[in-house]
Structure 1
Amino acid sequence: MIPRTLFLPEHEQFRDSVRRFIQKEIAPYHESWEEQGLVDRELWRKAGRAGLLCPNVPEQYGGHGADYLFNVIITEELANAGATGPGFAVHSDMVATYIATFGTEAQKTHWLPKMASGEAVGALGLTEPGAGSDLKGIRTRATREGDEYVISGQKVYISNGQHCDLVVLACKTDPDAAAKGMSFILVEANRPGFRRGRNLKKIGMHAQDTSELFFENVRVPTSNLLGQEGAAFVMAMSKLAEERLSIAVSAITVAQRAVALAIDYTRQRKAFGKTVSDFQNTQFKLAELHAEIMAKRVLVDRCIELHLSRQLDAVDAAAAKMLCTELQCRAADECLQFFGGYGYMLEYPIARIYIDSRVRRIVGGTSEVMRQIIGRSLFSEHYSR
């Protein structure tokens, strides 16, 4: 594998601490969390004390003021451990980032220290039953009445929904203005009229709570507006590149883990008088996957570099997300095949990788939407050959 040059010694020291935390506080309990459908609430406070939440939030707001590579390390190590339960990425890379970038001083001072410590858990309320990748189609309404917004509507597929103390909620403040009529409003979970729905049953990622959320005439002060009224669509577009990069980071890590598991297993498993790793088909299949992973890892690392210098654009992030999530699914499928019947048993990590992988081609924008973004870019500007 081509050596990676992104990380400095302090990054690797942090990686060691993240691995120790996962081994002690996550790995022994993850199976029970999958059975109960969510992680224990205490995990968030433990993660806060260990510095795993909001590491790149400025120190004045309770974070460590670290660079984005610390977020990358957390994502990679959770993926390496098969720890799909903790919704740290949504909390740190999305909700906290929105508040840190667009929030008022009062909003940042109030929420970011609590999020960094794990006292408060954040969720991002975008998707609705009739609006997924097309955010302009949301119907949740926020009507201004004096110094308050009155919010009514429904969200679905919301990660951290069962634990969240705060939702960065996408609402229509002007239903006649299409994308320019959408605003982000901070909604506390203890507001009258807010209700958590079911913890949804999914194909995979069973330990990560995914919920319906209901808002029935929820009143919040106008000071809860995040950024400016009508600016949510532009704000969301500016942050989608980071979200999709985070997904790509996780996806390429899981793909590499699937290949490593297959290599270890085929070295030990015997068939027809020799190990499965001796068969040419095994070597060719795994060689192809290894080469693809190596190439796409270089792409992801380059996207990380661009993001660190604030040069990553939406098209490049969409390409990385599309390629890596599709590779993750293919690697999971092809590597599981080497395990035979054992690969279908949940006690084997490859089976969990297989069922957890499929959603990656959907969340953060489907592969089809990624192709549309890339395709539009190709035909809207001169394509360099």
Structure 2
Amino acid sequence: MRRTILTAEHEAFRQMLRAFVAEEVVPVYGEWERQGHVPREFYKRLGELGIFGIEVPEEYGGAGQRTLTYQAVVSEELCRAGVSFGGSSVHAALCLPYLLAHGTPEQKRRWVPPAVTGELMTAIAMTEPGTGSDLAGMSTTATLSEDGGSYVLNGAKTFITGGLQADRVLVCARTSPPTPEDRRGGITILVVDARSEGFTVGRTLEKLGLLASDTVELSFSDVRVPVTDRLGEEGHAFSYLARHLPRERLTIALLAHAQASAALEFTRAYVAERTVFGRPVAAFQNTKFVLADCQAEVAAMRALVDQALTAYDTGELTAADAATVKLHVTERSAHVVDACLQLHGGYGYMREYPISRLYADNRVTRIYGGTSEVMRTIVAKSLGL
């Protein structure tokens, strides 16, 4: 079925991106996976291509597009090639929207243009070792100094994507303790300079998948952060997080759909070439039926994410809608990717085949941005349960 949300401009962008990925990413991607991150200079190449600035207003060096549909194209093309742009997905899809939505005019002039070019890379630090999805339970603190000119930051964060190479990190910290009436109050976002004294990048965490995307631990020991580097109002961070979570969850659903679609195409090509008992694997009825089911699943996912993209662009995507989309698409995507790996047989378990990489990378979509269990809780609450 024809997709009505994509235009000729989207397709021109797709062809440019496809050529770039084939020429500059695919040949070296195995090396990036082995070293656990992409080269820092590669982010400047993405900046030159305009990847970071698609939704950034022209006054800050961006393209000024007010749509998330180009992010769908990026996800689809990366999955089609079995690669990623490392930790920069958080920089472009999460951090830049935070800066644009909550930064002062001075902060945006200072941070956004270099973030568009890739000269200044960002990460966001919410999760702590003992809290997981319970962000209200964070214990990292930021205490106002006696002269009122800076915050003194102490604590630790974990699972920080892109934290190894980030120049600025959006750190969520408690500027006042929680109360029995409001556990979520008192959290503030500070845009912390990674060169600050007391700012330490800890272990690079070894993951099941997403091997070219660096994920680290961070710690803060009496890190001084100027008050002028506070993002938004003090104590309002949780409301900001809630505002941006639907977007984050939709981008994860876009990735999961793209992974399922790519898995189907990889498998369709594989079963046509691979022979078993003197016949192509594609000739067996089981293969045909499994891939027919996968095609139906992918088509349903695409319809759902396209509808959600339209709702997001028009400001109508609710938190419950985003949770519904993320829950359904990530769960069904896992089913499709698993079925496709099974049709590869033993070769599907080998990392030289892209289906193996997809299988490992796909697993986290049901965890980050809110687990499937959290999504079910949100959806159930929207039903009045």
Distance in 2, matches of 1:150 and 1:74, equals 39
Give the match's secondary structure for 2:384.
helix
Residue aligning to 1:270 = 275
Question: CA offset at residue 24 of structure 1?
Answer: 2.0
Residue aligning to 1:6 = 5
The range that moved more, 166-175 or 17-26, is 17-26
For the 8 Å contact 2:178–2:184, the answer to whether it is kept is no
1:159-202 Cα distance to aligned partner (Å, 9 max, x none)? 00111001111111111342111111110111111010111111
Give the match's secondary structure for 2:383.
helix
Amino acid at match of 1:377: S
Amino acid at match of 1:72: A
Give the match's secondary structure for 1:179.
coil
Question: CA offset at residue 95 of structure 1?
Answer: 0.3
Distance in 2, matches of 1:135 and 1:377, equals 21
Distance in 1, matches of 2:85 and 2:30, equals 10
Structure 1 residue corresponding to 2:378, chosen from 373, 376, 385: 373
Distance in 2, matches of 1:85 and 1:72, equals 14
Distance in 2, matches of 1:77 and 1:261, equals 13
Distance in 1, matches of 2:171 and 2:24, equals 31
1:81 and 2:76 aligned: no
Residue aligning to 1:322 = 327
1:213 and 2:218 aligned: yes
Residue aligning to 1:383 = none
The normalised TM-score by structure 1 is 0.96
Distance in 2, matches of 1:328 and 1:81, equals 17
Give the match's secondary structure for 2:295.
helix
Distance in 2, matches of 1:292 and 1:72, equals 18
Residue aligning to 1:71 = 71
Distance in 1, matches of 2:29 and 2:206, equals 17
Amino acid at match of 2:302: R
The range that moved more, 124-133 or 93-102, is 124-133
Q: How does 1:127-138 map to 2 (within 5 A)?
A: 127-138=127-138
Amino acid at match of 1:79: C
Give the match's secondary structure for 2:223.
strand
For the 8 Å contact 2:37–2:87, the answer to whether it is kept is no
Residue aligning to 1:106 = 106
User: Over the residues paired in the alignment, what is the CA RMSD in angstroms?
Assistant: 1.1
Residue aligning to 1:337 = 342
Amino acid at match of 1:120: L
Amino acid at match of 2:79: A
1:47-77 Cα distance to aligned partner (Å, 9 max, x none)? 1011111310101112111132223322222
Residue aligning to 1:253 = 258
Residue aligning to 1:33 = 32
Question: CA offset at residue 89 of structure 1?
Answer: 2.3
1:120-168 Cα distance to aligned partner (Å, 9 max, x none)? 1110111110122111011110111121100001110000011100111
Q: How does 1:186-265 map to 2 (within 5 A)?
A: 186-265=191-270
The range that moved more, 99-108 or 75-84, is 75-84
1:180 and 2:185 aligned: yes
Residue aligning to 2:318 = 313
Amino acid at match of 1:65: G
For the 8 Å contact 1:54–1:93, the answer to whether it is kept is no
Give the match's secondary structure for 1:215.
strand
Give the match's secondary structure for 1:379.
coil
Question: CA offset at residue 85 of structure 1?
Answer: 4.5
For the 8 Å contact 2:297–2:336, the answer to whether it is kept is no
Question: CA offset at residue 259 of structure 1?
Answer: 1.1
1:281-314 Cα distance to aligned partner (Å, 9 max, x none)? 1111111111011011101000000111111111
Identity %: 43
Distance in 2, matches of 1:96 and 1:126, equals 16
Q: How many aligned residue pairs are there?
A: 379
Distance in 1, matches of 2:140 and 2:311, equals 35
1:174-233 Cα distance to aligned partner (Å, 9 max, x none)? 113421111111101111110101111111111100000111110011111111111100
Question: CA offset at residue 272 of structure 1?
Answer: 2.2
Q: How does 1:43-82 map to 2 (within 5 A)?
A: 43-68=42-67, 69-82=69-82
Distance in 2, matches of 1:365 and 1:120, equals 27
The range that moved more, 266-275 or 196-205, is 266-275
Q: How does 1:17-32 map to 2 (within 5 A)?
A: 17-32=16-31
Distance in 2, matches of 1:294 and 1:73, equals 16
Gapped runs of 5+ residues in structure 2? none
For the 8 Å contact 1:38–1:85, the answer to whether it is kept is no
For the 8 Å contact 1:185–1:224, the answer to whether it is kept is yes
Give the match's secondary structure for 1:206.
coil
For the 8 Å contact 1:61–1:109, the answer to whether it is kept is yes
